[in-house]
Homo-oligomer: A and B are copies of this chain.
Amino acid sequence: MTDPLHEDGATAITAVAADGLYRATVPRGEGRRLYLFSRLARSYRLFDGLPSVTGGSAHFRQHPLTGEWISYSGVRQGRTFLPQTAECPLCAMTSGELKTDIPVDDYEVAIFTNRFAALTEEASLPPDMMLGTRPGTGICEVVSYSADHQASLSTIEPDRVALLLDALAIRCTELMANADIAYVMPFENRGREIGVTLDHPHGQIYALPHIPDRIKKAADAFRTDDPLAGLSQRLPEQLVLAKNKSGIAFVPPWARYPFEIWIVPHQQVADLAALGAEARADMAALVSIAAGKLDAAFDAPMPYTFAWQMAPRGYADEFHLHAVFQPLKRAADKMKYLASVEQFTGFFLVDLLPEAAADILNGQDGQRG
């Protein structure tokens, strides 16, 4: 509910209780929505925000050799690219002048529909091509971790990370309730090295109309047994970074990236919602520890990709939720690049043994970098 309040044009919006937290929902035009999550009851001052971007032409085409679907979206070519901090679209607004995507005076965790979405609920028809095509339906959301432009997953308080996971649990469940959606992935790209176009700490959620091949293959593995069951007992102690009553953070013996970290709940659950609030808080603590260790490894922010892997449609009974950090540095001054071998064949070449990476992350190595 909103109502006029201030001379500067701001209105007031009040969060309502939902699933153990509070949420305010702000329509943002063109079917876009902004959700503001808080642990306690609160209200926000709401301004006019950045307008919608229109003219997308998202569609999928099918690769004739691999059968994979590929998304084409011209609208993203013009997306916001490394703006000045003062023009950051993820910052809160202090006046009506500099508009942002989160046009409120302050917030804790915000999730909103991406203005430059690769996928949209109303997708255009694809052009007539010599191969299989389909409309590029799907939903792309942006997740801001904090109103603090300088924060990062490694410095945000674990309690705030828990709020973040609670918010992701709610949104992912809502997205999967859409019958057109088959797979939902919350993720974070961190660092300019991986092409991040906004420095503000944030992640994204992609909701896809199909299950990508790699995800389907991994999900199928859980149908015979659970490769992630009982890791606390089975993993070599050297690879363990942290554990608590709900889960474990470790460098997997099958790491494909130099400082890869997996965070796995002891309990086999399909997604963040099924985990429950208490276990989510425990998982948040492990995420904080892992993110901290990555930044500590070379005393510098570690660029990475990070994602929660949750059950695609049809796999809720057997899938085992896990989160994965895929860092991009193999030494203090050297990046791990995915080049021809990885990109053409999918065969990964790893220079740093997982055991050695775990030693560095645990501060057990003689030399760093």
Q: With A188-B340, A189-B339, A212-B345 as given contacts, are A218 and B66 in contact (CB-CB < 8 Å)? A: yes
Chain B contacts for A221, CB-based, 8 A: 64-67
Of the candidates A189, A206, A349, the one having the most CB atoms from chain B within 10 angstroms of its own CB is A349
**CB within 8 Å of B: which A206-240 residues:** 206, 208, 212-215, 217-218, 221-222, 227-228, 234-236
* Residue in A72, A194, A214, A340 whose Cβ sees the most chain B Cβ within 10 Å: A340
In whole angstroms, how far apart are the Cα atoms of A213 and B217 in the complex? 11
* A278-289 contact mask (Cβ, 8 Å, vs B): 1 or 0: 000000000000
Nearest chain-B residue to A337 (Cβ)? B195
With A227-B65, A345-B215 in contact, do A256 and B70 touch (Cβ < 8 Å)?
A: yes
Q: Which of B65, B206, B306, B335 contacts A218 (CB 8 A)?
A: B65
Q: Is A301 an interface residue (CB 8 A)?
A: no
Contacts of A206 in B (CB 8 A): 341
Q: Are B67 and A217 in contact (CB under 8 A)?
A: yes
Main secondary structure of the interface of A (DSSP, over half): mixed
Query: Which chain A residues have a beta carbon within 8 Å of chain B's beta carbons?
Result: 61-74, 76-77, 81, 118, 129-131, 183, 185, 187-189, 194-196, 204, 206, 208, 212-215, 217-218, 221-222, 227-228, 234-236, 253-256, 305-307, 309, 324, 326, 330-331, 334-341, 343-354, 356
Pull 16 A–B residue pairs with CB atoms less than 8 Å apart, ordered by A. Answer: A63-B256, A65-B217, A65-B221, A65-B222, A66-B217, A69-B347, A70-B255, A70-B347, A71-B347, A73-B349, A74-B352, A77-B351, A187-B341, A208-B345, A305-B339, A338-B338
Interface pairs A-B: 10 shortest CB-CB: A195-B337, A64-B227, A187-B340, A212-B345, A65-B218, A305-B340, A214-B346, A77-B351, A189-B339, A212-B347
